[in-house]
Amino acid sequence: MKTVGTPAARLTVAFALALWIALSQIPHPRPVPLPAGAPATEFSAARAIEHVRAIAQKPHPLESAEHDRVRDYIVHEFAKLGLAPNIQTGYAEITLGKFHGSGNVQNIVSRLLGADNAGFPSNTPFPDVKNRGDGDRVGSDAVMLAAHYDSVPRGPGAGDDGHGVGVLLETARALRAGPPLRNDVIFLITDGEERGLLGAQVFMREHPWRFRPGVVLNFEARGTSGEAVMFETSTDNEWLIRGLQSAVPDAVATSVAYEIYRRMPNNTDLTIFKRGGLAGMNFAFIEHPEYYHTAQDTVEHLDPVSVQEQGRYALSLARWFGNRGLTVHPPGDAVYFTTAFTSLIVYPTKFAVILAVLTLLGAGAATWRGGWIGVPLLLLSSFHMWLVNAAPGISYIVAWPLLGAVIAVILLATAPPVFRPGWRVAAIALCAAPGFLLIIPLVSSLIVALSFRGAAPVLAAAAILMLICLLPQLQFMLRTKT
């Protein structure tokens, strides 16, 4: 590569890089929390927070008097909606390393009848559950929404997980106000989650409806504010993500979180539902983690915008999955992510493999035509081939910046000796965009999720990745002699 850009051409590329940095700082648009007077068919954060205010007055751990008051409140509220709540009692225990938890739990289970099941009273078991055993195929067309109502002994649990209960109550109300859904919607308010997912265990072990949900949507928090994110799914998630993409165009989700979460020891009720064979998605907000599991987890600290986002997921997805057949769906995982300028981008992992092969071939060509600068790209492409098999959900973070770099090297290698501003310079500038627009926002959210120190290895890896992928532009800007 012996081409040299004119000063104007080099300045154009430098300006473009500055522009990408600025654009990478733009946050996602967020919804306005709806007031208590919002239309009845809409989800209102204000109405949901009224429930949280009633629930999160004091700590209400399992087997406390306050716990029983909260239980009665939730039962009363579901009964007011005409959903005939049942209390499922049972004992469970768990040992996780050094942690041991046990107790008697009281899950609150309600059902909104779908049009396909009209005729069955809402408090009777489904007719065919006796034929289902643990080895049977699970899942039918019911949609299950889940949250837990017990708190830790130290805090009132407004975020964790009073808000989840408020979201479910407000969603049940909004669903009843709208046209009836085809499928049943089950509302499961579990107990004893903080003591070791006890309520979820009792539900999946004994409840006659345990194999009915075709999809479970679980609502949690590790803090009191921040963007509500869909952070975990069951395997073969492409159909779930397609549903999310259609039902909630503004959804915030990344398959990087899916890959991280399935390698971490953290558990929520969804862990138990997934172990029982149910398909599902998990939603949470995680900012202000210093309030998590403390006396500061109060309604005053709870961000209504986060609650509105959780409610948007709950209501839109209940309506979406509530009107579709859920028993048959194609296998396969998806790669998915959002940018500040697009709604959720989704493609199957098969496509990620094809992209990796194309990028590797391109990097080979870049090394052949472009000289030394192709070598780091070729090495990164080989790593990417490994990554797309080991953790396909992470691959997009390498794939698109790398593809940009490979195209930029090929453009440089095939250019005339003197480079003036024109389509080729514009294309080279554009090739740097994926690096900034995908990597920087992801790293910022990982710093929030993992804390700055925990994210240090990620920061180092991201810096190396950015540097390699920006080599063509850096070389173009710095080269002044042939």
Positions touching Zn ion (CB under 5 A) are 160-161, 220
One-letter amino acid identity for 30? R
| Cβ contact 229:338 at 8 Å | no
- State the nearest-atom distance from the C-beta of 356 to Zn ion, in Å: 37
| Cβ contact 402:359 at 8 Å | yes
Give the integer Cα–Cα distance in Å for 299 and 250. Answer: 25
- Helix, strand, coil fractions of the chain, as percent rounded to 5: 50, 15, 35
Please, which residue, 244 or 286, has the CB nearer to Zn ion? 286
3-class state of residue 457 by DSSP: helix
* β-bridge partners, 346: 336
- Other C-beta atoms closer than 10 Å to the C-beta of 329 total 18
Task: Please state whether the peptide bond connecting residue 161 to the residue before it is cis, i.e. omega within 30 degrees of 0.
Answer: yes
* β-bridge partners, 93: 102
- State the nearest-atom distance from the C-beta of 311 to Zn ion, in Å: 17
Residue appearing with tokens 């109060």: 298
Order of strands across the sheet that contains 99-112? 86-96, 99-112, 185-190, 142-148, 213-221, 280-285, 229-233
| Cβ contact 162:71 at 8 Å | no
Q: Would you give the DSSP letter of residue 289?
A: G
Q: Within a 13 Å sphere around the CA of 22, how many CA atoms are in the beta-carbon half?
A: 6
Please, which residue, 211 or 285, has the CB nearer to Zn ion? 285
Please, which residue, 41 or 271, has the CB nearer to Zn ion? 271
Please, which residue, 147 or 326, has the CB nearer to Zn ion? 147
Please, which residue, 141 or 160, has the CB nearer to Zn ion? 160
- State the nearest-atom distance from the C-beta of 160 to Zn ion, in Å: 4
Residue 12 in tokens:
């154009």
By DSSP bridging, strand 99-112 and strand 86-96 are antiparallel
- State the nearest-atom distance from the C-beta of 194 to Zn ion, in Å: 6
Please, which residue, 220 or 303, has the CB nearer to Zn ion? 220
Please, which residue, 188 or 355, has the CB nearer to Zn ion? 188
- State the nearest-atom distance from the C-beta of 220 to Zn ion, in Å: 5
Please, which residue, 184 or 303, has the CB nearer to Zn ion? 303
- State the nearest-atom distance from the C-beta of 204 to Zn ion, in Å: 17
- State the nearest-atom distance from the C-beta of 293 to Zn ion, in Å: 9
- State the nearest-atom distance from the C-beta of 145 to Zn ion, in Å: 15
- State the nearest-atom distance from the C-beta of 258 to Zn ion, in Å: 19
Q: Which of 158, 167, 166, 198 is nearest to 292 (CA)?
A: 158
Angle between helices 471-478 and 423-431 (to 10 degrees): 130
Please, which residue, 161 or 333, has the CB nearer to Zn ion? 161
| Cβ contact 302:224 at 8 Å | yes
- State the nearest-atom distance from the C-beta of 218 to Zn ion, in Å: 10
Please, which residue, 268 or 445, has the CB nearer to Zn ion? 268
Q: How far is CA 415 from CA 278, 363, 424, in A?
A: 55, 17, 8
